[in-house]
Amino acid sequence: MRYIWQHIKAIIEKYDGSLPLAHFLKNYFKQHPILGSRDRRILSAMAYSWYRCSKGISTLELEIGIETRLAVCMKLCGNEKMLPPAIEAADASEPQLDLGALFPIDLSLSAGIDKESWLRSMLAQPHLFIRVRRDMGKVTSLLNGKQIPFTFVNDNCLQLPNGAKIDEVLPPDTYAVQDASSQKTGAFFHPKKNELWYDCCSGAGGKSLLLRDIQPGVRLTVSDTRESIIHNLKQRFKLYRLEPPVAYVTDVSDAALLSRALGSKQFDNIICDAPCSGSGTWARTPEQLYFFDPAIVEKFSSLQKTIAINVSRHLRAGGRLIYITCSVFKKENEDVADEIVKTTGMKLTQTELINGINIGADSMFIAQFEKV
């Protein structure tokens, strides 16, 4: 089994964080078809364990080899049973995790999340969550029939094991894959029939679909910078048998382009699910923690302020701006909210850090403003 170590060492040596780790591993495995499914599972577990905690390992020894360090990472992440039989970590000191070394950067977190808990959450992959759109009885019956375990988070949200092949079991229009914390943002929407809503950074439409499922009668406009993403959004609306929204491909960080797209349109409510560091989701993508450059927080903070200020000009008096990030950093959350109030004169009516750590979900920030 020594070739396993040869491959994981090659992966660590070649991977630089420029691609998502999942994409890099997929490409790597294509280049090495000799690796079987079990080999790929082991190498994936090794790689993810390495990027989750290798920076935070300390032992009594001053120096330890990469094999021992990887074995310790696997143990800390609960994956030691996946180590090849010939590889033991018996010669390693009892692993100690130095959380400060995992994230030695002085960045304040938002109120509602503890730094130690957030860093410890990096050791495990969050769960898979689905939002059941209809036919809950049928969905749970089909899952039980295939012996796929699930847990109710609430009346519409199920927690499932990662890798559950639900696409082979459930009718595609009965559910949406959506993190539990992301689903909770819908509690802030309170949509009414015939209201004008604008999802200004829609991505593939998770929040827009949630909005429409809560109130099918809203009149919805969406935008994103990528035409392919807007295409995917429309396909999802079609799959779910929902009326497609008015859609624009535009850059909302550019006030002139936004004005050209929207003209004089004014909305009752605007969802601003802003681009961010994604730090509330790093347990799913631990390579982002490993390769983190603090300069991106300043970059995103500036971009978030610009976007929120630009779109607020298309909010009617008395309307609401719902600002959302999947970040835990105060600089992207409360600090941006303060700047929005200062620049636009809007009233900040509510903020919340949706902390998903205890249920193995992501963490998100949400702030609600009213235009006076």
**DSSP code for 109:** B
**DSSP code for 54:** G
User: In this predicted structure, what is the pLDDT of residue 62?
Assistant: 45
- In angstroms, the CA 244 to CA 157 distance is 24
Query: Given this structure, which CATH class describes domain 180-370?
Result: alpha beta
Residues shown for the chain? 372
Instruction: Report the predicted TM-score, pTM, of the whole model to 2 decimal places.
Output: 0.94
Q: For the chain, what are the domain ranges?
A: 2-102, 127-178, 180-370
User: In this predicted structure, what is the pLDDT of residue 269?
Assistant: 98
- In angstroms, the CA 163 to CA 169 distance is 13
User: In this predicted structure, what is the pLDDT of residue 60?
Assistant: 46
* Beta pairing partners, 322: 271, 368
149 Rama sector, left if φ>0, alpha if ψ -120 to 50, beta otherwise: beta
User: In this predicted structure, what is the pLDDT of residue 93?
Assistant: 52
Cβ proximity of 290 and 51 under 8 Å = yes
3-state secondary structure of 239: helix
- In angstroms, the CA 200 to CA 23 distance is 28
User: In this predicted structure, what is the pLDDT of residue 90?
Assistant: 46
Q: Which two tokens stand for residue 228?
A: 């392919």
CA distances from 198 to 37, 187, 219, 221, 266 (A): 44, 17, 9, 5, 9
CA distances from 347 to 58, 144, 306, 341, 351 (A): 48, 48, 17, 6, 12
Give the burial string for 2-25 (b: 16+ CB within 10 Å, else e).
Answer: eebbebbeebeeebeeeeebeebb
Sign of CA dihedral 292, 296, 301, 304: negative
Exposure of 45 by Cβ count < 10 A (0-12 exposed, 13-18 middle, 19+ buried)?
buried
* Sequence-ordered list of residues with C-beta below 8 angstroms from that of 12, at least 6 positions apart, any chain: 47, 50, 66
Q: Which two tokens stand for residue 358?
A: 């205890």
Provide the strand spans (E) within 133-189: 151-152, 157-160, 175-177
pLDDT in tens, the chain (372 residues): 678 889 999 999 999 999 999 999 999 999 999 999 999 999 999 999 999 999 998 654 445 678 888 888 998 999 888 876 555 554 445 667 889 999 999 999 999 999 999 999 999 999 999 999 999 999 999 999 999 999 999 999 999 999 999 999 999 999 999 999 999 999 999 999 999 999 999 999 999 999 999 999 999 999 999 999 999 999 999 999 999 999 999 999 999 999 999 999 999 999 999 999 999 999 999 999 999 999 999 999 999 999 999 999 999 999 999 999 999 999 999 999 999 999 999 999 999 999 999 999 999 999 999 999
Question: Whose structure tokens read 């936004």?
Answer: 258
Q: Which two tokens stand for residue 38?
A: 């079990």
User: In this predicted structure, what is the pLDDT of residue 63?
Assistant: 59
